Amino acid sequence: MGRRCVFLIGLLGAVWLLASGHGGQQPPETAAQRCFCQVSGYLDDCTCDVETIDRFNNYRLFPRLQKLLESDYFRYYKVNLKRPCPFWNDISQCGRRDCAVKPCQSDEVPDGIKSASYKYSEVANNLIEECEQAERLGAVDESLSEETQKAVLQWTKHDDSSDSFCEADDIQSPDAEYVDLLLNPERYTGYKGPDAWKIWNVIYEENCFKPQTIKRPLNPLASGQGKNEENTFYSWLEGLCVEKRAFYRLISGLHASINVHLSARYLLQETWLEKKWGHNITEFQQRFDGILTEGEGPRRLKNLYFIYLIELRALSKVVPFFERPDFQLFTGNKVQDAENKMLLLEILHEIKSFPLHFDENSFFAGDKKEANKLKEDFRLHFRNISRIMDCVGCFKCRLWGKLQIQGLGTALKILFSEKLIANMPESGPSYEFHLTRQEIVSLFNAFGRISTSVKELENFRNLLQNIH
């Protein structure tokens, strides 16, 4: 518990005792204190504190980031929601209307995005179309230019590289469709129960680095976790190496962020005329209240700040890629594309100015052989989680789960590609490091979700302070 929080509680307690005459009892914590009192001060494995993140995100970054994500380039995301679950067959599809996803009609998507597909510039698009035509013929066409032939080989090599942390959709599949993210917002859908729990249980139990000696559930939301086991649970987590500990905290932070969204955009009232969405304080408390969650809720919120720092650091590292003069946020509207690139660079330079970035140099910094094995394990675990998203029974939840996992995977790819980014040419194709349009859209939208969650915590804190 941070010093500031301890001092505040002590001061309030003293005032309460003097006013009430209760000399031997402590006043009950307020609803806001029970959720947020421990969510203050410095974060584990970081040199940054919660208060600095709140100020930076809520007042300097969040408004501009939301404006960028409303632009055509970032609002249209191509996704295949019909891929079968690779792990089990008994998927119960959510039948609620709010679980459905409305795909775009062909004429609703800007022509520049459709023609560029997952590319990002007009020049690159024209070149890649030649490459894809050659690949469809089954070999490199000798009539293609030497540069184009090289691009075919290099991009194919890149797509098969070991730097990918996600198993991406085949967006050329007939089942892949464009979705307008603004018209299909992430919010509470009613998808819950055994099917929803099964997804998170598999993610935590089989993909986080759980020691064999731990017999109890790793999923902090699973039944059977009580106060008596809390110290044991976190003692093994603190005993892990920083990479494995970070892996768990990333998944927990993503889980917390999703729960914040669901609580902030909850179906409060429905009539035959309209639906009213808003903040459900009770739902938020059930997920994050320190007493109701037996001490787990505030830890989840601190992990939310941890994933914020990880994705923020990745965006600061990839600035040179977006600064290249031939990079465009290509939609076909040259004026808007130029304005949006300027806004994008403003946001990235703001992010780069953040004073307390996460130091990723501690990742995989030990013995080279062991570090390489650990990095591979890290990557494979994360790729497996990306495949689990095809098992989610709610299509809207699947959409946002796939996007956010791909966005986090892209952030990890960036963090582990620092040398490749530094060696990029100032112009022309970048063969060693490049981002597809899918990766770019998911990267910024995923961070936009985390940024929104941090902003929503301020809203919930204010709402809870009014509860006596």
- Binding residues, by number, are 187, 189, 200, 252, 255, 287
- Choose among 121, 123, 129: nearest CA to 152: 129
CB 358 within 8 Å of CB 364: no
CB 399 within 8 Å of CB 279: no
> Helix (H, G, I), strand (E, B), or coil: what is residue 84?
coil
Question: What does the alpha-carbon distance between residue 325 and residue 321 come to, in Å, rounded to a whole number?
Answer: 9
Question: What does the alpha-carbon distance between residue 260 and residue 257 come to, in Å, rounded to a whole number?
Answer: 5
Does the annotation count 394 as an active-site position? yes
Sign for the pseudo-dihedral over CA of 195, 197, 200, 204: negative
In the numeric block, the tokens 């891929």 are attached to: 83
Which residues lie below 8 Å from residue 47, measured CB to CB, with a gap of 6+? 356, 359
Which residue among 37, 131, 208, 394 is the active-site one?
Answer: 394
259-290 residues labelled b (16+ CB within 10 A) or e (exposed) = bbbbbbbbeeeeeeeeeebebbbeebbebbbb
Question: What does the alpha-carbon distance between residue 91 and residue 95 come to, in Å, rounded to a whole number?
Answer: 12
Which residues lie below 8 Å from residue 214, measured CB to CB, with a gap of 6+? 236
Which residue among 37, 131, 208, 397 is the active-site one?
Answer: 397
Q: Which residues are annotated as a binding site for FAD?
A: 187, 189, 200, 252, 255, 287
Does the annotation count 37 as an active-site position? no
Question: What does the alpha-carbon distance between residue 444 and residue 62 come to, in Å, rounded to a whole number?
Answer: 12
* Alpha carbon separation from 367 to 55, 238, 362, 379, 450 (Å, rounded): 38, 21, 12, 18, 33
Question: What does the alpha-carbon distance between residue 315 and residue 358 come to, in Å, rounded to a whole number?
Answer: 12
Residue type, 229: E
List the end-to-end C-alpha distance of the chain, in Å, as a whole number: 22
Question: What does the alpha-carbon distance between residue 366 and residue 432 come to, in Å, rounded to a whole number?
Answer: 25
Question: What does the alpha-carbon distance between residue 301 and residue 130 come to, in Å, rounded to a whole number?
Answer: 48
DSSP characters for 355-403?
SS---GGGTT-S-HHHHHHHHHHHHHHHHHHHHHGGG-SSHHHHHHHHH
CB 438 within 8 Å of CB 450: no
CB 27 within 8 Å of CB 456: no
- Beta-bridge mates of residue 49: 42
Which residues does the annotation mark as catalytic? 394, 397
